[in-house]
Amino acid sequence: MGCIENLKHEMVLPLGASFSECREYVEKNFAEFWYVDPGYKLFDEYIIGLPPIALGIDGSKIIFPYTKPCHGTYLLAVEDADEAVRVRKTARKKK
Partner 1 sequence: MAEPVDIREDRMEECVVLFCCVEKLDERNPDHVIESAKKNVMARLARLKVNQVMIYPYAHLTSTLGSPDCALCILKGLERSLREESITVRRAPFGWYKEFEIHGKGHPLADLSMTICPYEGTECDFTCPYCHHPIKESDMNHVHVCPGSDTCLKKEDPVKRKTGTDPAEKPDTTAALLVLGCPEVPVQQALALHVSHNLQKQGTAVQVTGNPAVLNLLKVSDPEKQYLPDTIILEKCIGELAEKKRDFTLCIVFAHSDAGISYAATLRHLLPASRLVVIIFGKDPEPLAALIDFPCEKIVEKAVHNPMQLKKKINGVLGWGA
Q: How many Cβ atoms from other residues are within 10 Å of residue 33's Cβ? A: 18
The binding track of 19-38 with respect to partner 1, each residue x by CB under 8 A or -, is xx----------------xx
Query: For partner 1, which stretch binds (CB under 8 A), given 5-13, 27-35, 39-47, 81-89?
Result: 39-47
- Closer by beta carbon to partner 1, 72 or else 79: 72
CA pair distance 81, 6, nearest whole angstrom: 17
How would you write the chain as a 3-class SS string? CHHHHHCCEEEEEEEEECHHHHHHHHHHHCCEEEEECCCCEECCEECCCCCCEEEEEECCEEEEEEEECCCEEEEEEEECHHHHHHHHHHCECCC
The binding track of 46-85 with respect to partner 1, each residue x by CB under 8 A or -, is x-xxxx---------------xxxxxxx------------
Query: For partner 1, which stretch binds (CB under 8 A), given 15-23, 26-34, 56-64, 86-94?
Result: 15-23
The residue ranges that bind partner 1 (CB under 8 A) are: 1-2, 18-20, 37-39, 41, 45-46, 48-51, 67-73
